[in-house]
């Protein structure tokens, strides 16, 4: 029986597990009309999880035989997970009501997906990493294929599933090699082993397994060359699920990658930096170039989110935790992920609002949008400015810290490629804005917004702007969140 402290620290996970099961049970019992309340029950669960996650702030404890860590770094990602959960639930209300009678199941699966994200953020052993990643993957596959009658949704799910199963097998093989060579599943023991043993065979096996682990996590983060599933899955999945996939699994994928590389494999830092630098350049460039010729907004945002992963990777490549510089790379990753969460969810919320009203997701259908829905059109500009990294938006702050870290570490070429890519990205982001503002559309009926969608749009847009004009609290939040690595607070 775990002691009271342990239970206190895993309260957010307990909350979500309970809420997920209650939603499933209540969905069976309640009549059709009262099921609308299920979404509010889900939101309540996320709010409680958010509050209880904050209770554990500053504890830094390893639980369950050192397999599960609750530190400020994990809590940072739990906050992200809960916020993403709240916003996605709010925007999914109308979308689901129009398309499926099984809303309770959807909300339960979604609650479990957020629970899996929280568990990933806290994982500190090879076993927990495997279990939590698979947990999140299965929930994502089911959510992607949730519209069972819809051929596109099915196709998105099977592609996602096959890619996911293959990469998770690759990662698992890497984990088994890592276990064999280090004799432990625990990160601290693995670090100690590699610090003591440095012969060539050990290094070769460790490098192979590092590459395999990066493959498995690269799939979740959608890094090139493990990105092929992303455009198809993003296009075919129900749009709220796409919004979730583009921020949730990506953010915690980075959390696990950071934790594994920095706390279990620091002995091979030079090698994984070299590998990730190449991946980062490929990811940014391919994502941006292919996005240029997209006609479907969901697909465009899919390639855009691949490119964004490349930028975030620059921060990971330039991690340097020595010294008190404001550009440690790690804080760049955290700030970028925080900015990206609100920006990308906001952009997808606009897409969902338009899709709810018109059913259209092609760029051509956005012509004349400014007359039909000036509010959405204006917010689109804000979110796209942020995605492109133009001030005064949160995306600029994120890119500032990420590129700043690259410059500090002397990766001038990498930073230059990142900046060039940001410029390229302006073209395709603004192809949508041009269609919305400067071209006349056939349909001129105004688009109405449901209150929950308006709320989440306003919250996202407000945070995108506030982060830009008053970044200090977010900067401090990122700095505190690096506690686990023994960094200056």
Partner 1 sequence: MTVHHFIILSAILFSIGAVGVLLRRNPLIMFMSIELMLNAVNLAFVGFSRFLQLVDGQVFVFLILTVAAAEVAVGLAIIVAIFRARDSVDVDEVSDLKG
Binding residues for partner 1 (CB under 8 A) = 126-127, 130-131, 134, 138, 141-142, 145, 148-152, 154-159, 161-162, 165-166, 169-170, 172-173, 175-177, 179-180, 183-185, 231-232, 235-236, 294-296, 299
How far is 304 from 290, CA to CA, in rounded Å? 9
Tokens standing for 363? 């760029």
Least distance (Å) from partner 1 to the CB of residue 13?
18
Place of tokens 């697909």: 299
Enclosing H/E stretch for 146: none
Output 215 or 369, the one with its CB closest to partner 1. 215
C-beta of 164 vs 395, nearer to partner 1: 164
Q: Shortest gap between Cβ of 136 and partner 1 (angstroms)?
A: 12
What count of Cα atoms within 13 Å lies in the side-chain half-sphere of residue 310?
32
Beta carbon nearer to partner 1, 144 or 280: 144
Shortest Cβ 152–partner 1 spacing (Å): 6
Q: Smallest distance, Å, CB 238 to partner 1?
A: 14
Alpha-carbon span 441 to 369, nearest angstrom: 7
Minimal distance in Å, beta carbon 23 to partner 1?
A: 19
DSSP codes joined into one string, 169-236: HHHHHHHHHHHHHHS-SBHHHHHHHHHH---HHHHHHHHHHHHHHHHHHHHHHT-TTS-THHHHHHHH
Tell me whether residue 215 or residue 385 sits nearer to partner 1 (CB atom). Answer: 215
CB of 223 to partner 1, least distance (A): 19
Residue with smaller CB distance to partner 1, 230 or 333: 230
In the complex, the smallest distance separating the C-beta of residue 172 from partner 1, rounded to whole angstroms, is 5
- Smallest CA-to-CA distance from 317 within 230, 414, 244, 396 is with 414
Q: Which is nearer to partner 1, 158 or 426 (CB)?
A: 158
What one-character DSSP code corresponds to residue 320?
A: -
The nearest distance, CB 166 to partner 1, in angstroms, is 6
Q: Which is nearer to partner 1, 229 or 429 (CB)?
A: 229
CA distances in angstroms from 150 to 155, 168, 295, 300, 356, listed in the order given: 9, 27, 21, 21, 16
**Residue positions counted in the chain:** 489
CA separation for the pair 24, 307 (Å, rounded): 37
Shortest distance in whole angstroms from residue 181 CB to partner 1 = 9
Cβ-based nearer residue to partner 1, 134 or 439: 134
Q: Is the CB of 95 or the CB of 303 nearer to partner 1?
A: 303
What are 324's two structure tokens?
Answer: 């008190």
| Residue 423 beta carbon to partner 1: minimum distance, rounded to whole angstroms | 23
> What 3-state class would DSSP assign to 381?
helix
Please tell me what DSSP assigns to residue 259: H
Reference 344, options 239, 449, 259, 214; nearest CA is 239
Closer to partner 1 by CB, 75 or 157: give it: 157
SS3 270: helix
Phi/psi for 349 (5° steps) reads -65, -40
- Name 61's bridge partners: 70
Distance of closest approach, residue 471 Cβ to partner 1, in angstroms: 36
Q: What does each C-alpha distance from 225 to 59, 95, 127, 299, 458 come to in angstroms?
A: 38, 32, 25, 17, 36
**Which residue, 49 or 126, is less far from partner 1 as judged by CB?**
126
Both tokens assigned to 459: 């919250």
Dihedral of alpha carbons 466, 471, 475, 477, sign:
negative
- Asked whether the beta carbons of 447 and 358 are under 8 A apart, the reply is yes
């Amino acid at each position: 029986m775990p002691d009271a402290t342990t239970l206190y620290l895993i309260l957010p996970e307990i909350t979500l597990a309970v809420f997920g099961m209650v939603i499933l049970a209540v969905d069976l019992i309640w009549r059709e009309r009262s099921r609308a309340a299920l979404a509010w029950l889900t939101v309540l669960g996320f709010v409680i999880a958010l509050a209880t996650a904050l209770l554990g702030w500053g504890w830094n404890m390893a639980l369950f035989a050192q397999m599960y860590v609750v530190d400020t770094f994990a809590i940072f990602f739990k906050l992200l997970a809960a916020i993403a959960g709240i916003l996605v639930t709010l925007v999914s209300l109308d979308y689901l009501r129009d398309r499926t009678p099984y809303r309770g199941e959807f909300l339960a699966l979604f609650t479990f997906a957020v629970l899996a994200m929280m568990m990933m953020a806290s994982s500190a052993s090879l076993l927990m990493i495997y279990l939590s990643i698979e947990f999140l993957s299965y929930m994502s596959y089911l959510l992607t294929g949730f519209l069972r009658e819809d051929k596109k949704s099915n196709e998105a799910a099977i592609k996602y599933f096959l890619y996911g199963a293959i990469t998770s097998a690759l990662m698992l093989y890497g984990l088994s090699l890592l276990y064999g060579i280090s004799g432990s599943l625990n990160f601290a023991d693995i670090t100690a082993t590699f610090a003591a043993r440095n012969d060539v065979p050990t290094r070769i096996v460790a490098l192979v397994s590092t590459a395999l682990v990066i493959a498995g996590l690269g799939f979740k983060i959608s890094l090139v060359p493990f990105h092929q599933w992303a455009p198809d899955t993003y296009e075919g999945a129900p749009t709220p699920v796409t919004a979730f996939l583009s921020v949730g699994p990506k953010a915690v994928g980075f959390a696990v990658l950071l934790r594994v590389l920095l706390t279990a494999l620091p002995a091979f830092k030079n090698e994984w930096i070299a590998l990730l630098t190449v991946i980062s350049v490929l990811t940014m460039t391919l994502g941006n170039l292919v996005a240029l010729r997209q006609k479907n907004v969901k697909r465009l945002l899919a390639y855009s989110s691949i490119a964004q992963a490349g930028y975030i990777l620059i921060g990971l490549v330039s991690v340097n935790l020595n010294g008190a510089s404001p550009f440690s790379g790690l804080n760049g990753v955290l700030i970028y992920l925080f900015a990206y969460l609100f920006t990308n969810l906001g952009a997808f919320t606009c897409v969902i609002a338009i899709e709810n009203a018109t059913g259209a997701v092609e760029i051509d259908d956005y012509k004349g949008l400014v007359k039909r829905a000036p509010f959405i059109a204006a917010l689109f500009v804000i979110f796209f400015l942020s995605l492109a990294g133009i001030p005064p938006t949160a995306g600029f702050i994120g890119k500032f810290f990420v590129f700043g870290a690259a410059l500090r570490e002397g990766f001038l070429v990498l930073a230059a490629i990142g900046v060039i890519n940001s410029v390229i990205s302006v073209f395709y982001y603004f192809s949508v804005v041009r269609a919305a503002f400067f071209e006349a559309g056939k349909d001129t009926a105004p688009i109405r917004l449901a209150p929950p969608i308006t709320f989440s749009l306003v919250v996202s847009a407000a945070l995108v702007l506030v982060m830009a004009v008053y970044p200090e609290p977010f900067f401090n939040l990122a700095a505190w969140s690096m506690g686990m690595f023994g960094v200056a607070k």
